[in-house]
Amino acid sequence: MSAAGKPSPSALVVAAIAVAVALAVVFPFFVRQQMVVAGTFVLFSCYLAQCWNLAAGYAGQFSLGHTVFLAVGAYTSTVLFRDYAVSPWIGMWVGAGLAALLGAVLSAVAFWYRVRGVFFAVITLGSVEVFRGLFSEFDILGGTAGIFLISANDPVNMNFLSRIPYYEIILALVVLAAAGTFWLERSRLGQYAMALREDEEAAEASGVPTFRCKIVVIAISAAATALAGTFYAQFLLFIVPETLFSFDHMLNMMLGTIVGGSGTILGPIVGSLLFGVLGDVLRSLPVVNSQEAASLVRIGYGLFLIVVVLRMPRGIVSLWERRN
Amino acid sequence: MQWSSDIAQVAASGLLMGLAYALVAVGFTIVFGVMNVVNFAHGHIVMAAMFASFVLNRYLGLDPYIAALCLFPIFLVVGALLYHTSIAPAVGASPATQMLVTLGLLIVIENTANLIFGGDLRSVRSPIGEGSLHLGTLVLPMSRVLAAVGSLLAIAALWAFLRFTRFGKEIRAAASNELGARLVGIPIQRVFIQAFALATAMAAFAGAMLVPFYLINPFIGYDFMLKAFVIAIIGGLGSLPGAVLAGLIIGVVEAFGDFYLTASYATALVFGLLMLVLLFRPAGLMGSFRS
């Protein structure tokens, strides 16, 4: 089972990846702080796309509710730190556990009642609004005003004055997510997920435990997303429902994954890098002001998304696959 | 007696708003019912029409209620163009493809509006909509009464149109059995274009009726998209009476939630209701004209 389908990558590919990762690691030491921050945001959207790719790309469960897991991660570690002085390095795993539990329960209820396809997307979108409403009300979560943390040189509590450690943390998460995806593709769970994505009835009939499999993949995806939530909270030192539940995060996850190639290891990374770097380059051009540039860039994203979905449904990485 | 007049006032404003919400949702529910496409950009068409009304008012001095009548035919054409350029290739594709194409449209519409108008809140005023209607203890702002009446008339006209015209029969035939409709010689592509154009124009009309008492910016499309979802699903996708009933329910639930709780709880309540309906009554309260 484990060897089915996916060949091991060639030595050349491994070497190329090692070089790319090494370059990414040393990158922030040679550029201005502004570039480090830009790189951090690009890697953050890469990582979120990778998380979403697990549920949507591999298991075919088109969630529009991943911002809930992002928020659970951010709020759990932040509240644990503020009220109980628990280091976010530990709190992030508590958040991941809670998000996994929440993802499992929500999807178990949805799948138990045979909510599928587009209705699964709608019910997850609904959950965002429910949690946005609840998170805005609870005083312990700071309400609509959110929670501020104080910037300090405190590495034990994931708080740095330099931007470089943040960059390296999110880079490590991206690499870990890629490795995790690589493992998933070759695991029994991943094979099950891809089988049910292609044809749920056929998979069920061939003995794939589709119900359990979908829930496990979504729980993993939710936990991974929650880790990004803690990172986001520590990077900005400020959390508020408005930004955490923003539909923009959801759109970025989808754009990167779909344009790059969903259900592949490199797809979400390639897609998010493309959008991130393209966006930063266009924004830095002197011809338009930054507000207009941001709008123009996003119009381009939207058009690009439509074209890719209709003309190249397997994304940019499929170009490379086709040549081989 | 304060509390009873409060309740009556809140219920009345909820019902008025509910009718306008129903009008927002009817186009969405038609598109789903007829071509099985979930249009995530529907709310953004409402928003685009509001800005169109703003432009007509600011630069041509048109009253927003007269603008509403002009916007209907304009957005029939816009809808047909949208269908041709981006929806047609997605009809019959996987749900993920459809969602992504309409989400792409959403991004394009929202950011085009942001590029042209910026993110500031704007308003459109109409002398016709000034003042209030007094009914006993109730005080109803004229603009909201007009929006409710306009919505009710538009939905009734749409219902009669679908019920009694040849074109309406074709749409209903395509919705209930696409293959059967093809077999008896109904030109499905033409029906789809017309249905999408009609849905777009209804959304535009809804936006134009709401704009005299609504603060607008490019990001409110998202709220209308969510409202359309909730109402269409609770009412039963494809059902016009269902949309009206669900619109009224949502309007009232939201009004009471806003008044007695807070806006955040009201939102949570509305979407909690959506999730429950999806779980326990996925065909919605009124079924749909598909089944």
ipTM of predicted complex:
0.84
User: Tokens 């435990």 correspond to what residue?
Assistant: A209
For residue B163, the distance in angstroms to the closest alpha carbon of chain A comes to 28
B275 contact residues in A (CB cutoff 8 A): 123, 126-127, 130
Cβ–Cβ under 8 Å, residues A232 and A146: no
pLDDT at A2: 43
| CA–CA separation, A196 and A212 (whole Å) | 11
Interface contact A127, partner B, CB < 8 A: yes
CA A91 to chain centre: 19
A251 contact residues in B (CB cutoff 8 A): 103, 107
Ramachandran assignment for A8, one of left (phi > 0), alpha (psi -120 to 50 degrees), beta (any other)? beta
CB contact under 8 A, A299 and B112: yes
Cβ–Cβ under 8 Å, residues B40 and B99: yes
Q: How confident is the model at residue B289 (pLDDT cuts 50, 70, 90)?
A: very low
| CA–CA separation, A67 and B197 (whole Å) | 33
Whether A33 is in a domain gets the answer: yes
Q: Which residue, among B47, B102, B111, would best test binding to A if mutated, counting the most A CBs under 10 Å from its CB?
A: B111
CB contact under 8 A, B264 and A126: no
B115 contact residues in A (CB cutoff 8 A): 292, 295-296, 299
Give B117-131 pLDDT, tens digit per residue: 888 888 888 888 778
B41 contact residues in A (CB cutoff 8 A): none
The DSSP bridge partners found for residue A239 are: A147
B268 contact residues in A (CB cutoff 8 A): 129-134, 137
Q: How confident is the model at residue A53 (pLDDT cuts 50, 70, 90)?
A: very high
Minimum-distance CB partner of B267 among A121, A122, A132: A132
Q: Which residue of A has its CA nearest to B91?
A: A310
pLDDT at B126: 81
Q: Which residue of B has its CA nearest to A137?
A: B264
Minimum-distance CB partner of B107 among A113, A114, A302: A302
Q: Which residue of A has its CA nearest to B265?
A: A133
Whether A266 is in a domain gets the answer: no
Please provide the DSSP assignment of A148-216 as one string.
E----SBGGGTB-SSSHHHHHHHHHHHHHHHHHHHHHHHSHHHHHHHHHHH-HHHHHHTT--HHHHHHH
pLDDT at A126: 85
Q: How confident is the model at residue B143 (pLDDT cuts 50, 70, 90)?
A: confident
Minimum-distance CB partner of A310 among B89, B268, B275: B89
Q: Is 0.90 topped by the overall pTM?
A: no
Q: How confident is the model at residue B147 (pLDDT cuts 50, 70, 90)?
A: confident
B contact set with A (CB within 8 A): 38, 86, 89-90, 95-101, 103-108, 110-112, 114-115, 118, 222, 226, 229-230, 233, 262, 264-272, 274-275, 278-280, 282
CATH architecture of the domain covering B2-121+134-280: Orthogonal Bundle (1.10)
For residue A323, pLDDT over 60 is answered with: no
Whether A271 is in a domain gets the answer: no
Q: Which residue, among B99, B120, B281, would best test binding to A if mutated, counting the most A CBs under 10 Å from its CB?
A: B99
Whether A46 is in a domain gets the answer: yes
The closest alpha carbon to A316, from A266, A252, A279, A253, belongs to A266
Minimum-distance CB partner of B274 among A126, A296, A303: A126
**How many domains is chain A built from?**
1
pLDDT at B133: 82
CB contact under 8 A, B96 and A109: no
pLDDT at A97: 96
For residue A324, pLDDT over 60 is answered with: no
For residue B66, the distance in angstroms to the closest alpha carbon of chain A comes to 31
Ramachandran assignment for A284, one of left (phi > 0), alpha (psi -120 to 50 degrees), beta (any other)? alpha
For residue A121, the distance in angstroms to the closest alpha carbon of chain B comes to 9
CB contact under 8 A, A247 and B222: yes
Q: Which residue of B has its CA nearest to A60?
A: B96
Cβ–Cβ under 8 Å, residues B174 and B198: no
pLDDT at B183: 80
Minimum-distance CB partner of B96 among A62, A109, A127: A62
For residue B23, pLDDT over 90 is answered with: yes
CB contact under 8 A, B267 and A117: no
Average pLDDT score over residue span A272-281: 85
Give A1-26 pLDDT, tens digit per residue: 444 456 677 888 889 889 999 999 98
Interface contact A136, partner B, CB < 8 A: yes
Q: Which residue, among A306, A307, A314, would best test binding to B if mutated, counting the most B CBs under 10 Å from its CB?
A: A306
| CA–CA separation, B60 and B58 (whole Å) | 6
Give A131-185 pLDDT, tens digit per residue: 988 888 888 888 888 888 888 888 888 888 889 999 999 999 999 999 999 999 9
Q: Give the domain extent around A140.
A: 11-246
- Token duo for residue B150: 């306009």
- One-letter amino acid at A293 equals A
Whether A300 is in a domain gets the answer: no
CB contact under 8 A, B86 and A306: yes
Whether A253 is in a domain gets the answer: no
Report the mean per-residue pLDDT for chain A: 88
Q: Which residue, among A120, A125, A288, would best test binding to B if mutated, counting the most B CBs under 10 Å from its CB?
A: A125
Minimum-distance CB partner of A123 among B89, B226, B278: B278
Q: Which residue, among A130, A131, A297, would best test binding to B if mutated, counting the most B CBs under 10 Å from its CB?
A: A130
CB contact under 8 A, B101 and A306: yes
Least reliable range by pLDDT among A87-96, B207-216, B268-277: B268-277
B267 contact residues in A (CB cutoff 8 A): 129-130, 132-133
| CA–CA separation, B248 and B18 (whole Å) | 4
Backbone φ and ψ for B278, nearest 5 degrees, come out as: -60, -35
Give B226-264 pLDDT, tens digit per residue: 889 889 888 888 888 889 999 999 999 888 888 888 777
Q: How confident is the model at residue B286 (pLDDT cuts 50, 70, 90)?
A: low
Please provide the DSSP assignment of A83-147 as one string.
HH---HHHHHHHHHHHHHHHHHHHHHHHHHTT--HHHHHHHHHHHHHHHHHHHHH-GGGTGGG-E
Minimum-distance CB partner of B104 among A117, A306, A313: A306
Give A22-43 pLDDT, tens digit per residue: 999 989 999 888 889 999 999 9
